[in-house]
A and B are shown apart, each in its own frame.
Chain A
């Protein structure tokens, strides 16, 4: 192809003394002279040749034949190098329509609709240094975030990093979630992300059912194009007064929705109130989300607790959150995970009582009795159901055998 494309210098990524596990790539396309790579790297004695080779491969796949390339590497892993080189090429106006994908590790089992979602750890999509060990800290889910933690100028590059991470990083037991941008930008995110089979997409700032439909139709179309059959679940985030008012309609907008959640930073801003650590100002909204979610048969999941140094505040928030009917919440720092899991775990008193009820229920079943009683008290069927559910949850959390 000899059509002249408009080209310019393309740059992507970061370097410097404070940067870890990232790199900066600068590409200057030229009309002749082949590829010339200038490489500086703190790991040059060990991976200098590998970095060069990888850059050459990505450039070739993107059809770049002649360019001067400068790479400042700060110990980036291969999936990051590939994403940064690709981003720089695209910003240089080249390589359109080609995706250069790193080797894919085995996909984990598809995620179940009703799996446990106590904790979901946010990882900024533009900070690859946090990706690789994110899953080690025991969260139920990892959210690779393309929205609020990514600066407007980095939306295009973060998308490639997250796409490559979904292929190359082992997120272990974690459900692999991606938070896309608010629509319509979020639709472009889906084009890049959905082919890599994330388990769940968080749709931010949802105010009506139509927005969910738009996203879910785009997901279905991409899945069809790529022949993907495993489920990709949805979790809408309600972040405005209007969104809260439409909570039930939103929760029932798509059969792919498995959970409903709330974003308190934006919600309190919408109301013009101060966000407090007790959350009195958002109690109605949170209870509304809980109620709508339960009415729709999906999980109700709480927002995040912003002060990562205040573990007592987090614990209190989590206990309260569970008390009003949420099944989990977001985390901004790995140290929050254990505290949240503790807060959302059934208490020993609850387990003790549920154990007795379940035993009484089993005994009644064996004896063929229609009525379950504990001591002199009769136990209603919904109480039995709740005890069974609580025991199942305690078992899933590893609290009881």
Chain B
């Protein structure tokens, strides 16, 4: 049984204290952007033979327990799951509970992200079935980890970092469990059809390629062939049919709604005007924006400006929503390259429109590859919980150190030509621009612009952007200036919240090195 490592701390290149070992594995501290040179060869799954699989292609077994027994599930193994069904997912907990019934202990759960509806994992950690989680944690699971109750240490990775960790052999997946909105008995899986359709299955692709065993779980079994096969049945060992893999209402929202908050709309409009005034919005450009309120509003402002200027994008990157789909259908972009599908319009579009393409963390984000799409994007709009005056930013913890969000694709997106953080200048009374971020997730040298309702700050390292918006009517101000104004409004700088000296989780950089530590809080 793993007990939280007694480990020495070292200072990394960003000046943050990080543990030397995590969950008994030696770690490299962060060395700087682009400084860590990997070596060796990629991990590989064992060789199999078709002789061991049914010649008629029927890999169905009765249930998850049977599948696990056939995979040789033992104490201490790594079980992975994926979050394309988001808060509606039922498969991950179903799998972990099946493992509990078999009686195994000390599993490592390796989700691509966890959600509040998976709170049941706490009981499994308390009973010893799960030792620890490596993957994003928020809500009740985040609190459980930050309060130091998890036995092992949490490891937070970006979507690209998760691919990198699997590919580099840093995490070896024993059994991958893939929730499939549609599958055939051979194991081909598709996300864009079926009652639990969710769009892309990209998050499960690495697991299907590198895991020792792969189980597909579906509530919409179709006869071979399942078209399209986002996951190839040639990588799948067993297929399990269940009544329901998830709650459709929580998998995708009916329609994603644009915020009506005037402050957030103002931020969104500033972002769109910045892209226009800086000349980034031009024929053939590309951008990425998520499904948050500000991001959606940004897309709708940008769309008006693109129409006015007669400008068309070559591609946009999702999380796709109705608003990106409209761009595609109105001919304002040639393609949507979609990593995650957020609403019904997105799902419908991916199923029907060949220009709405499912991508994976490999194509989009993996830093240990021969390039990735993220760095080809002209501009990306991201959120953050805090940003310091050197543009370093935090996205995983609240200012008091509690785990709040996963990293998602956030770190990977920092590779874009122009990285924009769209944030309110304070939340409640808490300033967002601070002297030092609670948890470092993104190095300031990769963050170019901070857009708040009180003005826009451009990283002084980006003289080209500063020059590009000269003459613009936008309120361009030094970040320090906005910070000072907000501190006056809030009645001075906030106190530093208390934390312990005990690490409970680590934040990985895209190259697998340790960027920062999350500490236990009382």
Contact = CB atoms under 8 A, between A and B. Distances in A.
Interface of A: 20-21, 42-43, 45-50, 54, 74-78, 132-133, 136-137, 333-335
Contacts of B263: 133, 136
Interface string B112-123: 000000000000
29 contacts: A21-B428, A43-B494, A45-B399, A45-B400, A45-B494, A45-B495, A45-B498, A46-B429, A46-B430, A46-B497, A47-B429, A47-B490, A47-B491, A47-B494, A47-B495, A50-B491, A50-B495, A54-B491, A75-B427, A75-B429, A75-B430, A77-B429, A78-B491, A136-B262, A136-B263, A136-B453, A137-B262, A334-B262, A335-B260
A77 B489 contact: yes
A132 B428 contact: no
B74 interface: no
A334 B269 CA distance: 14
Contacts of A133: 262-263, 453
Contacts of A137: 262, 266
B429 A76 contact: yes
Interface centre among B399, B454, B494 (most CB of A within 10 A): B494
Contacts of A132: 489
Contacts of B400: 45-46
Contacts of B260: 335
Contact of B490 (A45, A48, A49, A77): A77
Nearest to B401: A45
Contacts of B490: 47, 77-78
A129 to B, nearest CB: 9
A46 B399 contact: yes
B262 A48 contact: no
Contacts of A136: 262-263, 266, 453-454
A75 B494 CA distance: 12
A363 B367 CA distance: 69
B492 interface: yes
Contact of A42 (B266, B428, B453, B492): B428
B265 interface: yes
A44 B490 CA distance: 13
Nearest to A338: B269
Contacts of A43: 428-430, 494
The 10 A-B residue pairs whose C-beta atoms are closest, nearest first, are A75-B428, A46-B494, A45-B497, A334-B262, A78-B491, A75-B429, A45-B400, A43-B429, A133-B263, A46-B495
Chain B interface size band reads 20 to 34
Given A133-B263, A137-B266, A48 B495 contact: yes
A68 B498 CA distance: 27
Given A46-B497, A50-B492, 5 more contacts: A50-B491, A77-B489, A133-B262, A334-B262, A335-B265
Contacts of A49: 495
A67 B51 CA distance: 83
A54 B429 CA distance: 15
A337 to B, nearest CB: 9
Contacts of A21: 428-429
Contacts of A45: 399-400, 494-495, 497-498
A42 B430 CA distance: 10
Nearest to A21: B428
A335 B262 contact: yes
B296 to A, nearest CB: 16
A73 B387 CA distance: 25
A77 B491 contact: yes
A268 B282 CA distance: 51
A214 to B, nearest CB: 37
B394 to A, nearest CB: 15
Interface centre among B427, B428, B492, B498 (most CB of A within 10 A): B428
Contacts of A334: 262
Interface in B396-438: 399-400, 427-430
Nearest to B400: A45
A20 B428 contact: yes
Nearest to A20: B428
Interface centre among B260, B262, B399, B453 (most CB of A within 10 A): B262
Contacts of B265: 335
A20 B265 CA distance: 19
Contacts of B491: 47, 50, 54, 77-78
Interface centre among A45, A48, A132 (most CB of B within 10 A): A45
A334 B263 CA distance: 9
Interface string B475-510: 000000000000001111011011000000000000
A54 B263 CA distance: 28
B261 to A, nearest CB: 9
Interface string B172-202: 0000000000000000000000000000000
A51 to B, nearest CB: 9
Interface centre among A21, A42, A47 (most CB of B within 10 A): A47
A368 to B, nearest CB: 41
Interface in B251-270: 260, 262-263, 265-266
Contact of B428 (A48, A54, A74): A74
Nearest to A336: B262
A340 B481 CA distance: 31
Contacts of B399: 45-46
Nearest to A333: B262
Interface centre among B427, B453, B492, B495 (most CB of A within 10 A): B495
Contacts of B262: 133, 136-137, 333-335
A49 B430 CA distance: 14
B57 to A, nearest CB: 53
Nearest to B424: A133
Interface string B220-261: 000000000000000000000000000000000000000010
Contacts of A335: 260, 262, 265
A334 B492 CA distance: 28
A103 B453 CA distance: 24
